[in-house]
């Protein structure tokens, strides 16, 4: 161990900060960004900062008990609009870049999100979740909430969402607010969801995305539209054969780029690409069609909240190409693609770039970066020389106290010869000649990616004396589309064997691993796989399953995505081939489970509803076999471990470590209260 340093604790979560959503000023001399933290009341806070690139001086634009986000520079660089709940609902606010008191721009009853300035700086486009009865003219008030309805008529299959809760008949609509007068002009009016994109350079059009097919419950395509801001006929650019997002205009207004996939057979298991529409000829081109890499950041971590702003494809000034993030072999990097399909890595490294902004005239980029020992900071990059200058060090005090092990990269073969990839953390305080227990961690998705990013849970287990093995089995992003799709219809098949191959490889390569003291843990798909593993083998002496799936038959009807997720991922449904869903259900093997199992689940999880945990717990208790404990988290959604209540997140980490301590360090049974 490094002298005078210690391993990380679960409670250190309250001290971790990260910087995100960097936005360079129009003249490229300063960057605005968000800094996130947990305050002394153990509540989330997000504040806005502006930092000069030349002097490196920093101005805190906002502070206090607020959650401010989405800072966006006015075109003249004198003001920043942002989203804040300081008045109650999320609304658009405006503040001078030199600081001062912010002013409120919108006062919508249904709130406001996703602000985008018009080129002339006079208007801001935004979105809001609304019912057919709501109006942008309805004002936010301090009145008490309306009494709950006695009965609700459900007319659609997509009536709930893990991130939004029960949405019933609400949909996302777009409007434009006049910054000077506050007057709001609706842009969309239908029952479909619409997402704000960008303004055309002349300010006459908005590029947006929406699903406007006849039956949005059964056809999930998301198309790109050009919408005249002052009214008129819409122009549809895509063909309702895939999902597309983040449209961006070239500087001359002649082309539009967007990120997405066009696949008649896959909605979920498909890689995203960069597309361009020539608005003069009407042609659509996929710039990355021959590049077998996932566009976007697919890296999983447990400190930063999911859903960071994606700038999409950022055009070069001359319109000859664009910059974007892509994920490959555990890293997410910044790339450049020309219109003829030439792709170049611009900023790489063994790290996770989760955001970027650039100013081409000054050849400057600012990237938001995490790595295995850095939760999230900003780095200025000279695009000509590649020289990097660190702009923020938001965790310097905490990190100075900690001994954080760096991962060992692993490359090995699966049982069928497939090339596989992963990492191993040694325990903090590692001593040659000693034997250590090991925990296998399995990511969710399954179409996501472990990589070179900060993972509090892994570092906590390492601090507790465990080796931590984490890998990307087939189904993961980062290794090509064939690899990513290989788990579809085969959950618990070769993906399971990939994980067992990883364990065997690690045990063969590292003699410090105690093969008699191994544990396994995972969440979501990783929870499914944990449940599957303990039903197949007694190799592991303890297991933790988090927000998991045990029964695909019931998951089909209770999850917010169940009916179409199972169709693609398991390739079955209850009314034509229920036996297929049952074949891949871990609860089918519950009689085989002898591994002590900790089950953790959020009570408001709409993605993998808590009935999945309840079934597994009752089945195990009824048999009276394996030791089992069930931890329920009131009010928690599927995002508990990433954006849930801070105290619940710390409790979850503590329960995980305590369970493994009980069964991998001693022979005594743990009793949790």
Joined together, the tokens standing for residue 625 give: 């076999």
pLDDT of residue 554: 98
Q: Which residues are catalytic?
A: 524, 638
Does 189 score more than 90 pLDDT? no
Mean pLDDT of 238-254: 95
pLDDT of residue 415: 82
Task: Check if the beta carbon of residue 539 is closer than 8 Å to that of residue 518.
Answer: yes
Q: What is the pLDDT of residues 559-603, one digit of tens each?
A: 999 999 999 999 999 999 999 999 999 999 999 999 999 999 999
pLDDT of residue 159: 92
- What single string gives the DSSP state of each residue in 357-424? EEETTTTEEEEEEEETTEEEEEEEEETTT--EEE---TTHHHHTTB--PPPEEEEEE-TTS-EEEEEE
Mean pLDDT of 521-538: 98
Query: How far is it, in rounded angstroms, from Cα 419 to Cα 167?
Result: 43
Half-sphere exposure of 139 (CA within 13 A, CB side): 7
Mean pLDDT of 527-542: 98
Query: How far is it, in rounded angstroms, from Cα 483 to Cα 404?
Result: 32
Does 145 score more than 70 pLDDT? no
pLDDT of residue 671: 41
pLDDT of residue 2: 52
Query: How far is it, in rounded angstroms, from Cα 595 to Cα 520?
Result: 10
pLDDT of residue 666: 59
Residues forming beta bridges with residue 262, ordered by sequence position: 242
- Where in the chain are all domains bearing CATH 3.40.50.1820? 399-550+585-665
Query: How far is it, in rounded angstroms, from Cα 126 to Cα 7?
Result: 44
Does 542 score more than 50 pLDDT? yes
Query: What residue ranges in 472-620 does DSSP mark as E strands?
Result: 513-523, 542-546, 597-602
Q: How confident is the model at residue 668 (pLDDT cuts 50, 70, 90)?
A: very low
Does 308 score more than 80 pLDDT? no
Q: What are phi and psi of 660, to 5 degrees?
A: -70, -35
pLDDT of residue 122: 98
More confident residue, 167 or 279: 279
Residues in the chain: 673
Joined together, the tokens standing for residue 307 give: 């859903």
The SS3 call for residue 207 is strand
Query: How far is it, in rounded angstroms, from Cα 244 to Cα 226?
Result: 13
Mean pLDDT of 390-407: 97
Query: How far is it, in rounded angstroms, from Cα 75 to Cα 117?
Result: 7
Joined together, the tokens standing for residue 38 give: 């947990």
- CA distances from residue 166 to 156, 606, 611 in whole angstroms, order as listed: 12, 9, 17
Task: Check if the beta carbon of residue 584 is closer than 8 Å to that of residue 598.
Answer: no
Q: How confident is the model at residue 670 (pLDDT cuts 50, 70, 90)?
A: very low
Mean pLDDT of 198-218: 94
Does 3 score more than 80 pLDDT? no
Among candidate residues 380, 333, 379, the one with its CA nearest the CA of residue 354: 333
The SS3 call for residue 320 is coil
Task: Check if the beta carbon of residue 442 is closer than 8 Å to that of residue 532.
Answer: no
pLDDT of residue 161: 93
Mean pLDDT of 90-96: 98
- CA distances from residue 181 to 86, 106, 185 in whole angstroms, order as listed: 21, 10, 12
pLDDT of residue 672: 38
Mean pLDDT of 511-516: 98
Residues forming beta bridges with residue 632, ordered by sequence position: 601
Query: How far is it, in rounded angstroms, from Cα 424 to Cα 502?
Result: 10
Query: How far is it, in rounded angstroms, from Cα 348 to Cα 530?
Result: 33
The SS3 call for residue 618 is helix
Which CATH architecture is the domain 399-550+585-665 placed in?
A: 3-Layer(aba) Sandwich (3.40)
Q: What is the pLDDT of residues 617-627, one digit of tens each?
A: 999 999 998 89
pLDDT of residue 142: 65
Joined together, the tokens standing for residue 486 give: 């290989």
Does 304 score more than 90 pLDDT? no
pTM of the model: 0.96
Query: How far is it, in rounded angstroms, from Cα 519 to Cα 294?
Result: 31
Q: What is the mean pLDDT of the chain?
A: 95
Q: How confident is the model at residue 214 (pLDDT cuts 50, 70, 90)?
A: confident
- Where in the chain are all domains bearing CATH 2.120.10.30? 73-142+157-398
Torsion angle, alpha carbons of 538, 543, 545, 551, to 10 = 20
Joined together, the tokens standing for residue 376 give: 């999230």
Joined together, the tokens standing for residue 61 give: 């634009």
Cα-atom radius of gyration of the chain, to the nearest Å?
25
Task: Work out the percent of the chain whose per-residue pLDDT is above 90.
Answer: 89
Joined together, the tokens standing for residue 561 give: 């995505």
Burial of 89 (0-12, 13-18, 19+ CB in 10 A): middle
Task: Check if the beta carbon of residue 379 is closer than 8 Å to that of residue 397.
Answer: no
- Residue 557 CB contacts under 8 Å (≥ 6 apart), including other chains: 563, 574
Does 669 score more than 60 pLDDT? no
Task: Check if the beta carbon of residue 354 is closer than 8 Å to that of residue 300.
Answer: no
Q: Top-level CATH class of 73-142+157-398?
A: mainly beta
Mean pLDDT of 192-213: 95
Half-sphere exposure of 439 (CA within 13 A, CB side): 30
Q: What is the pLDDT of residues 252-276, one digit of tens each?
A: 999 999 999 998 778 899 999 999 9
- Comparing 27-31, 32-36, 138-142, 150-154, the range with the smallest average pLDDT is 138-142
Q: What is the pLDDT of residues 606-661, one digit of tens each?
A: 999 999 999 999 999 999 988 999 999 999 999 999 999 999 999 999 999 999 99
Cα 459-462-463 angle, rounded to 5 deg: 85
Does 55 score more than 50 pLDDT? yes
Task: Work out the percent of the chain whose per-residue pLDDT is above 70.
Answer: 97
Can you tell me which residue has the tokens 């409670």? 11
Does 217 score more than 80 pLDDT? yes
Helices and strands, number each (H, E), in the chain: 11, 39
Strands of the sheet with 44-52, listed across from one edge? 18-24, 30-38, 44-52, 58-60
């Amino acid at each position: 161990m490094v002298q005078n340093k210690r391993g990380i604790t679960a409670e250190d979560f309250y001290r971790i900060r990260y910087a995100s959503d960097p936005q360079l000023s129009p003249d490229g001399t300063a960057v605005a960004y968000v800094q996130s933290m947990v305050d002394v009341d153990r509540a989330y806070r997000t504040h806005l900062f502006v930092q000069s690139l030349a002097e490196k001086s920093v101005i805190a634009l906002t502070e206090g008990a607020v959650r401010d986000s989405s800072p966006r520079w006015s075109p003249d660089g004198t003001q920043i609009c942002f989203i804040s709940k300081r008045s109650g609902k999320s609304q658009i606010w405006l503040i001078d870049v030199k600081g001062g008191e912010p002013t409120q721009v919108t006062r919508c009853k249904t709130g406001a999100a996703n602000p985008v300035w018009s080129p002339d700086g006079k208007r801001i486009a935004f979105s809001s979740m609304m019912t057919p009865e709501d109006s942008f003219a309805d004002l936010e008030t301090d009145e008490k909430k309306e009494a709950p309805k006695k009965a609700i008529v459900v007319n659609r299959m997509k009536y709930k969402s893990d991130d939004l809760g029960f949405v019933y008949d609400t949909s996302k609509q777009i409007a434009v607010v006049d910054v000077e007068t506050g007057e709001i002009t609706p842009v969309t009016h239908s029952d479909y969801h619409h997402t704000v994109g960008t303004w055309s350079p002349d300010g006459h059009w908005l590029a947006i995305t929406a699903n406007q097919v006849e039956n949005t419950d059964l056809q999930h395509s998301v198309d790109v539209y050009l919408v005249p801001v002052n009214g008129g006929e819409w122009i549809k650019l895509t063909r309702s054969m895939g999902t597309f997002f983040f449209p961006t205009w070239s500087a001359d207004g002649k082309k539009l780029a967007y990120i997405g996939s066009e696949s008649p057979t896959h909605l979920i298991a498909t890689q995203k690409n960069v597309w361009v529409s020539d608005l003069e000829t009407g042609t659509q081109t996929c710039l990355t069609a021959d590049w077998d890499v996932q566009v976007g950041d697919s890296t999983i971590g447990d400190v930063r909240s999911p859903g960071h702003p994606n700038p999409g494809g950022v055009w070069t000034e001359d319109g000859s190409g664009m910059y974007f993030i892509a994920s490959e072999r555990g890293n997410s990097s910044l790339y450049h693609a020309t219109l003829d399909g030439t792709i170049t890595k611009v900023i790489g490294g063994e790290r996770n770039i989760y955001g970027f902004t650039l100013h081409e005239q000054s050849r400057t980029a600012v990237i938001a970066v995490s790595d295995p020992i850095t939760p999230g900071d900003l780095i200025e990059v000279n695009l000509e020389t590649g020289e990097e200058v660190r702009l923020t060090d938001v965790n310097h005090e905490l990190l100075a106290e900690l001994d954080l092990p760096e991962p060992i990269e692993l490359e090995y073969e699966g049982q069928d010869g497939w090339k596989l990839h992963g990492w191993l953390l040694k325990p903090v305080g590692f001593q040659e000649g000693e034997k250590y227990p090991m925990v296998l961690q399995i990511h969710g998705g399954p179409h996501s990616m472990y990589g070179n990013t900060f993972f509090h849970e892994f570092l906590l287990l390492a601090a507790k004396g465990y080796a931590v093995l984490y890998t990307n089995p087939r189904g993961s992003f980062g290794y090509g589309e064939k690899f990513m799709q290989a788990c579809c219809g085969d959950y618990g098949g070769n993906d399971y064997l990939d994980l067992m191959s990883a364990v065997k490889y690690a045990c063969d390569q590292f003699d410090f691993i105690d093969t008699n003291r191994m544990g396994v843990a995972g969440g979501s798909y990783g929870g499914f796989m944990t449940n599957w593993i303990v039903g197949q083998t007694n190799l592991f002496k303890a297991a933790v399953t988090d927000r998991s799936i045990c029964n695909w038959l019931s998951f089909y009807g209770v999850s917010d995505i169940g009916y179409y997720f199972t169709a693609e991922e398991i390739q079955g449904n209850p009314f034509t081939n229920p036996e297929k869903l049952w074949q891949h259900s871990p609860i089918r093997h519950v009689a085989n489970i002898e591994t002590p199992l900790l089950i953790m689940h959020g009570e408001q999880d709409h993605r993998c509803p808590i009935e999945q945990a309840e079934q597994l717990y009752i089945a195990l208790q009824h048999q009276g076999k394996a030791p089992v404990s069930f931890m329920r988290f009131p009010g928690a959604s599927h995002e508990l471990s990433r954006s849930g209540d801070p105290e619940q997140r710390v409790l979850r980490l503590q329960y995980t470590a305590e369970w493994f301590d009980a069964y991998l360090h001693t022979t005594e049974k743990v009793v949790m209260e």
